[in-house]
Structure 1
C-alpha cells in the first residue's frame, strides 16, 4: 500500500517506520525544515528503551513538494494545523484515497469533511507514543493500539490489514466517537499536568494528589459528555491512566504537549481542556478545572516562547 503520513513528527515517524518495516511504500510530509533535512541526509534514528538505535530511510518533504497519488493518508498533524495541511495536500488526494486521522483532540472529522467525501474519512484514536529527541531522531517507548471507524460505512479492510501487518494493533470500533472522547480525556489529564508539574507520565503518577486532579478534570468532561450525548466512562479512563503510568507502557514518555512547550510551540490545549470548557459554557455547565488548566497552559506557552527568544538573542550576540 502507498501511504503518506501527514505530520511526520515523533509519532508520525514511529508509525511510518513500523509501516515501512512491514513492506509498505511510505513517505512523510512535514513542515519542519531541520527535521526534514536531518532525515533525508542522515536517516531517521530510532532509539529504543534499551538504548539500542537504528536508522531508517523514509523520504520526507513539505506538503507542496509531494507528488503522486496515495492509497492512504494518515493525518498526525497538530489539530490547529489540520485544515492547512489538508488544503496543501489536496492534489495528492484522489476519490479512492482514504484518510485516517489519528491526531489528538476533538473536531478533526468536521475539518476533514470540508475537504473530502465522508466515504473517504476514517476516524481513529491511538495510544502509541513517541518522543522527539532532536531533528531526525525519536525515542520510542512501550506499545500501543489503534481504534478506528469509517465515518460513512466505507470498506476499510485493507487499511486495517496494513496497520496490523505493521504491528500497530488496529481494531475496528462501532463507536469511535466514544473512543476519541476517551483518549481526549486521557490527554486532558496527562498532557497539561505533565507540563505544569514538569514531569513525565510515571513521575506524574508519583504526585500524591495527581489522580485527584485527574478526577476533577474527568468529572467535568463527563458532565459535558452527558450534555452532548456521549458516554464518558470515567472509571475506564482512570484504569487506562493507571496502566500508562507503568514504564513498560508509557511511563517514560513525555506527552506531545510537553514536547511542544519545550520547543516554544503553541499546543493543542484549545482542542482538549479548552474544547471541554467551551462546550461547558455553551451548555451552562461549570468546568473550572478545565478552564483553569487551559489558561495556565497558554500562560506557560507565552513564558517559554519569551525564554527561547532571549536564548536566541544571546546566541546571536
Structure 2
C-alpha cells in the first residue's frame, strides 16, 4: 500500500511540475548568434524548439554536427536543435520569436506565414526601430509582443557560437493578449523576463545603447570592454544620446540618457558583456549590410523630418556605410585570390 501511495504521489508531482509552467512549441526566426543562444536556453528548459534561418552553411553545420557553444567559463558543449529554412518549416507553434535583422523582418514574416495561425503569438526582439509597424502588416495586434533584450552572443563559424555574461528581456503585449504565460515560459529558461508598461520607451532605450555600442565598436575596432577604455568613449556616447533625447521629445518618447549611461557602464564590464563584439561588428567582418539605418540612421532621418540637425548620428551612419563598402571589397578580393 505504501509503495502504491508513493507511486501515485510521484505521478502527481510530475504532473504538477509539467503544468506549473507550460511546455511550449517555439520557433526562432533568425537563428544566428543570439537566436541560437536563446534556443539552447529554451530547449534546456524543456521547450520544443525549432530554428529558422537562411544561411545554408549554418543550417548544414548544426544539422550535421550540432550547435557548438563556447561558454565564458571555458566549457564547450554541443546542442542538437532542428534548424531549417522558412520554406521548409511546417507545423503549428505557440510562440515565434523574431530575431531576424530588422531590414529582413518583412520578408521573414512573408516566408513563414504558413506556420502562423490565429493562436500563434509573435515576440519581436530584433534591434532597431519600426518592427511593430512591420508586424502589424502581417498579423493581428493581439498576437504581437514586442521586447528588448540585453542577452548577447557571438557567431564564430557556421554552427558555432560564443556566449558571454548574462542578460534580460523586457516585453509587452501590443494588443489585448495575455503576456503572462509567455513570460512564465521564457523565465522557465532563466531568460530573466519582465513585463514592461511602456515597451516603446524600452525599445528606444535599447536603440540608444545599440546606437552607441554597435557603430563605435566597429569604428574603433574594439569589443565592448575595449570601447569602455577609450578616453573619449563616454563623451562620444553622450553626443549621440543627447541628439536621440532631443528627437525623442519631439516624438513624445522619454529618453533617459542617465539610465542609458548607467547600462553602458554595466555592459562594458567583462562579467556582463565586456568581452562581446556587437552584432554590427560581426556583420561588418562578414561583409554583410548592417542595421545602421534602423539605429543612428533612423534617428538622423527623424531629425531631418523635424528640421532638427543630428550631426553625430548622421556622420556615424555615413561612416558605417563606408565601412561596409570597404569590408565587402576586401572580402571580394580575398575570394578572388582564393579562387585563383
Coarse TM-score class (shorter-chain normalised): over 0.9
1:126 aligns with 2:149: yes
Residue of 51, 55, 61 corresponding to 1:32: 55
Distance 1:20 1:264 in 2: 31
Residue of 210, 213, 221 corresponding to 1:187: 210
Render the CA deviation track for 1:62-102: whole Å, top value 9, x for unaligned. Answer: 00000001000000000000000000000000000000000
1:99 aligns with 2:118: no
Give the TM-score of the pair, scaled to structure 2: 0.93
1:209 aligns with 2:232: yes
Residue of 46, 61, 64 corresponding to 1:41: 64
Give the match's secondary structure for 1:249. Answer: coil
Return the offset for 1:159. Answer: 0.7
Q: Which residue of 1 aligns with 2:301?
A: 278
Return the offset for 1:153. Answer: 2.4
The 5 A counterparts of 1:42-121 are 42-121=65-144
Q: Which residue of 1 aligns with 2:311?
A: 288
Give the TM-score of the pair, scaled to structure 1: 1.00
Structure with higher Rg: it is 2
Out of 262-271 and 149-158, give the one that drifted further. 149-158
Q: Which residue of 1 aligns with 2:219?
A: 196
In structure 1, runs of 5+ residues without a counterpart are none
Distance 1:159 1:56 in 2: 23
Return the offset for 1:51. Answer: 1.7
1:143 aligns with 2:166: yes
Return the offset for 1:284. Answer: 1.1
Return the offset for 1:285. Answer: 1.1
Give the match's secondary structure for 1:103. Answer: coil
Return the offset for 1:50. Answer: 2.1
In structure 2, runs of 5+ residues without a counterpart are 1-23
Let me know the Cα RMSD of the aligned residues. Answer: 0.4
Distance 1:230 1:103 in 2: 19
Return the offset for 1:113. Answer: 0.3
Give the match's secondary structure for 1:281. Answer: helix
Residue of 289, 297, 300 corresponding to 2:320: 297
Distance 1:158 1:4 in 2: 16
Render the CA deviation track for 1:110-136: whole Å, top value 9, x for unaligned. Answer: 000000000000010000000001000
Return the offset for 1:173. Answer: 0.4
Equivalent residue pairs, number = 317
Give the match's secondary structure for 2:129. Answer: coil
Render the CA deviation track for 1:141-193: whole Å, top value 9, x for unaligned. Answer: 00000000000121112110111000000000010000000000000000000
- Which 4+ residue blocks in structure 1 deviate beyond 3 angstroms? none
Render the CA deviation track for 1:244-277: whole Å, top value 9, x for unaligned. Answer: 0000000000000000000000000000000000
